Amino acid sequence: MIVFGIESSCDETAAAVVEDGWRVRSNVIASQVALHEEYGGVVPEIASRAHAECILPVVRCAIDEAGIALGDIDAIAVGHRPGLIGALLVGVSAAKALAWSLEVPLVGVDHIEAHLYAPLLDDVTWCSDAVYPALGLVVSGGHTALFRCTSPTAMERIGTTIDDAVGEAYDKVAAILGLAYPGGPVVDERGRRGNERAHDFPISRLSPVSLDFSFSGLKTAVLYAVKGVPGRGGWDANAQMELNESAIDDVCASFQRAAVGALMMKLKRALEQWESEAPKSLILGGGVSANSKLRAEVAALGNELGMQVRIPTMMYCMDNAAMIAGLGQHRLKSGKADGLDLCASPRGVHA
Ligand code: KG4
Ligand code: ZN
pLDDT in tens, 273-298: 998 889 999 999 999 999 999 999 99
- Closest C-alpha residue for ligand 1 atom 13: 184
Distance 233 CA to ligand 2 centre (A): 40
- Closest C-alpha residue for ligand 1 atom 10: 141
The model's pLDDT over 118-168, given as tens digits with 9 standing for 90+, comes to 999 999 999 999 999 999 999 999 999 999 999 999 999 999 999 999 999
Please, are residues 7 and 79 in contact by the beta-carbon 8 Å criterion?
A: yes
Q: Which pLDDT value is given to residue 178? A: 95
The model's pLDDT over 111-120, given as tens digits with 9 standing for 90+, comes to 999 999 999 9
Give the residue extent of every domain in the chain.
2-122+315-333, 128-312
The mean of the pLDDT values for the chain is 96
Domain 2-122+315-333 adopts which CATH fold? Nucleotidyltransferase; domain 5 (3.30.420)
The model's pLDDT over 46-94, given as tens digits with 9 standing for 90+, comes to 999 999 999 999 999 999 999 999 999 999 999 999 999 999 999 999 9
pLDDT at residue 343 greater than cutoff 90: yes
**159 Cβ closer than 6 Å to some ligand 1 atom:** no
- Closest C-alpha residue for ligand 1 atom 19: 184
Q: Which pLDDT value is given to residue 145? A: 98
Same fold yes or no, 2-122+315-333 and 128-312: yes
Distance 89 CA to ligand 2 centre (A): 16
- For the CA of 143, the closest atom of ligand 1 is 7
- Closest C-alpha residue for ligand 1 atom 1: 287
Q: Which pLDDT value is given to residue 50? A: 97
Distance 314 CA to ligand 2 centre (A): 13
- CATH of segment(s) 128-312: 3.30.420.40
**184 Cβ closer than 6 Å to some ligand 1 atom:** yes
